[in-house]
Amino acid sequence: MHKLCLLLLFCGSVPALQAQDSVVWATPNEKHKPIGRGLDINYTRIFSSRFKSEAKVDRLEDGEATLHSLDNIEYDLKLPIVLKERTKLLVGLEYTFDYYRFQNQEDLQYEFYSRLNKEGFKSRKLKFYFVHSLSSKNFISIRTSAALNGNVSESKQPIYRFAKYSLAFIYGWQKSLTNSYGMGIYLDYTFGRPFAYPVFEWNRSWSKKWGFEAKLPAKFKLRYTPNDGLCFYGGYQVEGISYRVVPEVEETGFLEEYEIRRSDIKLSLAVEKCLYDFIWMGFEAGIDYNIRVDAQDGGSLYNNTDLLKSQLEPAPFINLFVFLVPTESIKRLIKGK
* CATH tag for 2-13+26-335 (out of 3.40.1280.10, 3.40.710.10, 2.40.160.40, 3.40.50.261): 2.40.160.40
Sign of CA dihedral 83, 89, 93, 94: positive
Amino acid 267: pLDDT: 98
CA–CA gap between residue 166 and residue 158 (Å, rounded)? 20
Sequence letter at residue 53: S
Q: Which residues contact 73 (CB under 8 A, 6 or more apart)?
A: 42, 43, 44, 96, 97
Sequence letter at residue 185: I
Which of 25, 28, 44 is closest to 270 using CA atoms? 44
Q: How far are the Cα atoms of 13, 181, 201, 245 from residue 96, in angstroms, in the given order?
A: 22, 30, 25, 16
| C-alpha R_g of the chain | 22
Residues facing residue 54 across a β-bridge:
309
DSSP secondary structure of 244-306: E---S--SSSTTTT-EEEEEEEEEEEEEEEEEETTEEEEEEEEEEEEEEEEEE--SSSSSS-E
Backbone dihedral angles phi then psi of residue 284, each to the nearest 5 degrees: -130, 140
Give the domain ranges of the chain: 2-13+26-335
DSSP secondary structure of 184-213: EEEEESTTSS-EEEEEEEEEEESSSSEEEE
Amino acid 2: pLDDT: 47
Amino acid 135: pLDDT: 93
Amino acid 41: pLDDT: 97
The gap from C-alpha 306 to its chain's centroid, in whole angstroms, comes to 24
The gap from C-alpha 225 to its chain's centroid, in whole angstroms, comes to 23
Helix (H, G, I), strand (E, B) or coil at 334: helix
Beta strands 163-176 and 279-296, pairing class:
unpaired
Amino acid 8: pLDDT: 42
Give the residue ranges of the chain where pLDDT is below 50: 1-20, 251-254, 301-302
Amino acid 10: pLDDT: 44
pTM of the model: 0.86
Amino acid 297: pLDDT: 75
